[in-house]
Amino acid sequence: MPRRTPLVIGHRGAPGYRPEHSRSSYALAFELGVDAVEPDVVVSRDGVLVVRHENEISGTTDVAERPEFADRRATRTVDGNALTGWFTEDFTWDELSTLHCRERIADLRPSSATFDGEQTVLRLRDVLDAAREASLDQGREIGVVLEIKHATYFASLGWDVAALVEAELREAGWDAGQWPLVVESFESTVLLALKERGIPASYVYLLEAAGRPFDLAAAQGKNAPTYAHTASPAGLDGLVGRVDGISVDKRMILAPDRLGRTSGPSPVVADAHERGLRVFTWTCRPENRFLIGQFRTRGGPSEFGDWEGEWSVIRDAGIDGVFVDHPDLGVEFFRR
C-alpha cells in the first residue's frame, strides 16, 4: 500500500519561530508551505471569536502588565479546573485588540520571544481572511482547521458558540465549501450542533490520551465515555456517520511504555480507517521536552532530539493530518 501524504497543519501558525496565534506566526506558516493553519477560538465579552489557545490569556499576551486591566484579574473554573488570571470573556473585543502577543514558552523558545509585543491579538475573521489571501497569492489552496474551545463553559455564560461560529463563517464567505475547512473540538456536542447548521466542513473529534470530554462529563458524570473508550473499536463504531474523523494525542499512536519507548504505532489509526474515519495527530515538535523518552537526546529540553525517529513512527502509522510547530520541518519530512 502506498504511504499516505498527510496534511501538514501549522499549529497556531508557526509557533516554533513566532509567538503563537500572532499575525506573523500565520504569515510564516503560509510562506513555509503548510496545507492549513489551526486557529483556536474563544469568546470575548461582546461575543467576538478571538484567536487564543485558552480563554485565560496572561501567558500569551501582555495583559498582566497593563495597569488599566489589573482589576480584571479573577479566578474561574473552566472545564472543572480552577484558574487564576485574565479571561477573554471579561474583555470587549476593542479592549482585547490592544493586547500584544507574547511567546508562551520563552524558556524553550527564546528566539520566538524576541518578537514579543510586536503584534496584537487576532479575531477568527482575521485568520480566515489571511488564509484566503495567502491562497490567492500563492496560487494554491490553504485551509483552516478551526478548533472550538470550551463550548460548554461559554454556554454557561450565555453564548451559543456554534451560532457564533456559523455567523462568522458565513460573513467571511467560508460557508460555501469554496475554501478547505475542518472544524474540530474536544466536545462532540458543539461539533454536531455546527454540523446541523449546514456549514460544509470536515468535522473532527479531538481525543485526549486520558480523561473524559467535559461536555459529556457535565451531562452524564461518571457515565460519560472516556476518551480511551472512544478510541477503541467499539467507541469508533459510535462515531461513524456523526463525524468525519478523529484527532488524537500523538501518545495514542506512539503508545510508549513506562520507560518512554514505543514498539511501533498502536492500532488506533488502522481501526479508524477501517471505519472510514480520517485521523489527525497533535503535536509534532522537535524539542526534547516534547519527545517521548526513546527519542530524547543530550543537550537539555530546548535542544532538538531525534524528532525524525519519533515522527517516522507517526508517519508510518498512515495518518491523514499532522499538526506541527515548525512548518518547514513538517513540510519537508512528511512530504519527503
Q: What is the mean pLDDT of the chain?
A: 97
Evaluate if residue 38 carries a pLDDT over 50. Answer: yes
Evaluate if residue 300 carries a pLDDT over 50. Answer: yes
* Distance of alpha carbon 188 from alpha carbon 204, whole angstroms: 9
Which phi and psi angles does 216 have, rounded to 5°?
Answer: -75, -35
- Residue ranges of E strands in 4-111: 7-11, 36-38, 40-43, 49-51, 74-78, 81-85
Q: How big is the chain by its Cα radius of gyration, in Å? A: 19
Question: 3: pLDDT confidence band, cut at 50, 70 and 90?
Answer: low
Question: 1: pLDDT confidence band, cut at 50, 70 and 90?
Answer: very low
Interval 205-224: pLDDT, tens: 999 999 999 999 999 999 99
Give, in degrees to the nearest 5, the angle at Cα 324 between 322 and 326. Answer: 150
Interval 69-98: pLDDT, tens: 999 999 999 999 999 999 999 999 999 999
Which position has the grid cell 509585543?
117
pLDDT at 259: 87
Percent of the chain with pLDDT over 90: 96
pLDDT at 336: 86
Evaluate if residue 2 carries a pLDDT over 60. Answer: no
pTM (predicted TM-score): 0.97
Percent of the chain with pLDDT over 70: 99
Interval 162-199: pLDDT, tens: 999 999 999 999 998 889 999 999 999 999 999 999 99
